[in-house]
Structure 1
């Protein structure tokens, strides 16, 4: 792939505890000033000119700051709006490793990226594009595809922030799995090279052709294995096999039981708690009424044909379900329905949507609710969205309006087991994620400008690989502070 090493590595620089930047003290990023030119030539020139504002090599620099208690304070600010009883579980999951900590710190990294060089070329960002937020799912044509699968933070922002978060996650994941430094750097380089290569290809395609592009899982794995002397990527193959059977039938079999002719959710608190067991709600009947309101408003967010599908299902039961790592504490519900008969279940997830981390730094979303922000963002950047994707809101028990987005819980969803990736598997996964990210940015941003900003050399690849090392060190430092606060009892941990 021509991964040359003509750019020297940047030494990791550490700052003293007194030399910190105050979180959120940096001025917001203006994402409204970019105006896409009319012709491809003008767009190319605009992209190249963006190097004056943010030279390619400038992206390499990150100065590690030690003892950042104020960074952890950002997590505490997030937790203040979440279900109090679940905050200790959130911190427990984040404390498992440096990588699980990274998964929950999109706000911290976004706050840090504000102080780095910014190209000013906007896209619909993922907002939290680490490798754990990509996966497999079944398309409406029943093919297994690979794409971005988490959109809680999606909003308008600088394209390079997504790529930096992805590259750093490859580096951190490689460290967690004991992959050697040289191989980790190569995996990060291949990830960034793939993004650069794919954004160039998309910039040269007819726009509708680029829009329809997607990653077919079987075809992609076959192609990878042909170029790797037939070496089988067992992790991705296993994920594909599991995804093929993860549907509403499987979800209902795992999470519900039959009682009196209706499906009822099993009790497994705090992971899964039927609504009639939620002791922190004073009036369960009022809670059920709010769930009914949520589902009614959701129905009206669907296109008419999808509403027709939804109307064929009959409601049975709901439960609160804990999801994710960084998302723990946000309110999330599951509801089970049946269609033709009791053996035709549909499982929907209703997940709370709050401010995107990007909105703190790049401006508020134009959508009326955060549920709609997530859904419309997903439809913009994902190659083929869930046909039952919609949004809703209701007034909660405390009088506050809460926004939600709704989707199928399992529609062939397959998560990648990233805890045991070997060198080849990490490289393959990083490349697939980078291709998806380039596709998302080409659909929603100026791909010609981005491609010409990046250019044809690997200067940017080298810079991001160096940044990934430095920021992984920053993540380790912040993780150490986080663990100390848990051990001292300053932060609650389940």
Structure 2
């Protein structure tokens, strides 16, 4: 932990619920709940574009213009790629001193429909690239600001945005209070299934909103390896291979000349074999029943563009039994300079450990590995299925009522994730039964949305001036 960071507050092992609650209430003196409304950047605030450039220096050079191109499209897309900028800004805001495992990038599009190993459709957090233990407030603030930014893009009024944020934070607070009263195992087994979402939709949303949820669930169930297989592959000379869609999807055969290609194939093959050792024995046995047939570099997301990401096509019993795995580079979390280094020496293991801790149910193929020699360096990766019943929200299609309901689901889900790792009793006691924290975050979210717009404008101006390279999607192709 940085030397100037205040020490986290921790209950003594074996503390009673009453003692843990007292710790949470005492934290209000350290950071009054109303004080979370503050966002007052210092005069020496780091240049946001310099923060992005530091990240870009470690990424695949020819993909960096795609990242900047995507981030210039709108303030919300900029925000999705600006987790490092916000982490630096949050380090200067009040926090209670109570820690939890953080997502690190808890904006609204990182909450989505996912499959459990039992083939149930769940609503949960999806992205853990930046996960680390830290102040639980940071995740809540990133979620709240994302809702304001998305609401502004949709033309929602200030009053509508305020209601959405307050409802979201209230949901987090009230859910944490419920978790504080639950047994440890009950917290661990808690999850939000699609049937629960439908019940909420029936009560809260108009018929159009209910139809959209039903379509999203149906679409999510169709997004699996078979769907990816039909969309991303082709048959050439009787052989199944990944179809090229440069520069967003480039098969290894097109990316490198023969000598380098052979070396990369060997490196990725080694990654695949060794990664299997990080899986439980039953899942490692299942993986061994597949054989790799093709590999490609893939561009993913907004903030992740430029990191090394590979998709690997494997086949099982025959050509109609595909499995797509994604091996994604894991670098140091953007939170680390502000909360301290990870306890894990392998950054891929950091991501996997955080995901397993925060998610109610995880991908059966989630694992990690380190590989030497990729682009001349030792690099860490985590591996998961490319598609496994994933359904993503479409905030641009939401009306205020729908975004409010979605925000409430996100708030409750984030509280459950934090309750699994943090002191849920202390956090609940800190938050209390009133709406002081809710109202404070509604103010903070608007102030930070203003900052995000200024930063987005700085990027678009730098691109227009030629100071930073950017490629539109059409240009990139």
TM bucket normalised to smaller: over 0.9
Question: Structure 2 CA distance, aligned partners of 1:89 and 1:32?
Answer: 39
Structure having the higher helix fraction is 2
Match of 2:310 in 1: 333
User: SS of the residue aligned with 2:325?
Assistant: strand
Q: 1:213 aligns with which of 190, 193, 202?
A: 190
Match of 2:289 in 1: 312
Tell me the C-alpha RMSD between the 2 structures.
1.9
Cα deviation per residue 1:87-127 (whole Å; 9 max; x = unaligned)? Answer: 00000011110000000111111101111111110101000
Cα deviation per residue 1:159-194 (whole Å; 9 max; x = unaligned)? Answer: 000000000001111001111211111000000000
User: SS of the residue aligned with 1:244?
Assistant: helix
Q: 1:128 aligns with which of 105, 112, 118?
A: 105
Q: 1:295 aligns with which of 272, 284, 304?
A: 272
Match of 2:340 in 1: 363
TM-score (norm 1): 0.92
User: SS of the residue aligned with 2:138?
Assistant: helix
Match of 2:87 in 1: 110
Cα deviation per residue 1:179-222 (whole Å; 9 max; x = unaligned)? Answer: 12111110000000000000000010011011111111232222
User: SS of the residue aligned with 1:120?
Assistant: coil
User: SS of the residue aligned with 2:250?
Assistant: strand
Match of 2:59 in 1: 82
- CA apart distance, 1:64: 5.9
Match of 2:96 in 1: 119
Q: 2:5 aligns with which of 12, 25, 29?
A: 29
Q: 2:438 aligns with which of 461, 467, 481?
A: 461
Give yes or no for contact 1:233–1:425 (8 Å, CA) kept in 2.
no
- CA apart distance, 1:338: 1.1
Cα deviation per residue 1:8-40 (whole Å; 9 max; x = unaligned)? Answer: xxxxxxxxxxxxxxxx9x965356553455110
Question: Structure 1 CA distance, aligned partners of 2:239 and 2:350?
Answer: 34
Does residue 450 of the first structure (1) align with residue 436 of the second (2)?
no
Match of 1:390 in 2: 367
Cα deviation per residue 1:230-253 (whole Å; 9 max; x = unaligned)? Answer: 663344333212101000000011
Match of 2:404 in 1: 427
What pairs with 1:1-400 in structure 2 (closer than 5 Å)?
29-30=5-6, 34-36=10-12, 38-63=15-40, 70-228=47-205, 232-279=209-256, 283-400=260-377
Question: Structure 1 CA distance, aligned partners of 2:206 and 2:109?
Answer: 27
Structure 1 residues 475, 223: closer, same or farther in 2, change over 3 A? Answer: same
Structure 1 residues 67, 474: closer, same or farther in 2, change over 3 A? Answer: farther
Give yes or no for contact 2:9–2:98 (8 Å, CA) kept in 1.
no
Give yes or no for contact 1:332–1:349 (8 Å, CA) kept in 2.
yes
Cα deviation per residue 1:453-489 (whole Å; 9 max; x = unaligned)? Answer: 0011001100000000111011111111111001001
Structure 1 residues 323, 28: closer, same or farther in 2, change over 3 A? Answer: farther
Structure 1 residues 55, 293: closer, same or farther in 2, change over 3 A? Answer: same
Question: Structure 2 CA distance, aligned partners of 1:127 and 1:154?
Answer: 5
Give yes or no for contact 1:28–1:114 (8 Å, CA) kept in 2.
no
Match of 1:414 in 2: 391
Cα deviation per residue 1:355-393 (whole Å; 9 max; x = unaligned)? Answer: 001111111111120000000110000000001100011
User: SS of the residue aligned with 1:264?
Assistant: strand
Question: Structure 1 CA distance, aligned partners of 2:93 and 2:358?
Answer: 25
Give yes or no for contact 2:11–2:20 (8 Å, CA) kept in 1.
no
Give yes or no for contact 2:131–2:350 (8 Å, CA) kept in 1.
yes
Structure 1 residues 303, 456: closer, same or farther in 2, change over 3 A? Answer: same
Question: Structure 2 CA distance, aligned partners of 1:58 and 1:101?
Answer: 27
Structure 1 residues 281, 151: closer, same or farther in 2, change over 3 A? Answer: farther
Deviation larger for 89-98 or 391-400? 391-400
Match of 1:5 in 2: none
Gaps of 5+ in 2: 472-477
Q: 1:436 aligns with which of 384, 406, 413?
A: 413
- CA apart distance, 1:229: 6.6
- CA apart distance, 1:65: 7.4
What pairs with 1:465-484 in structure 2 (closer than 5 Å)?
465-484=442-461
Structure 1 residues 143, 187: closer, same or farther in 2, change over 3 A? Answer: same
TM-score (norm 2): 0.95
Question: Structure 1 CA distance, aligned partners of 2:198 and 2:4?
Answer: 41
Q: Name the count of aligned residue pairs.
A: 470
Q: 1:402 aligns with which of 351, 357, 379?
A: 379
- CA apart distance, 1:315: 1.1
Question: Structure 1 CA distance, aligned partners of 2:452 and 2:444?
Answer: 12
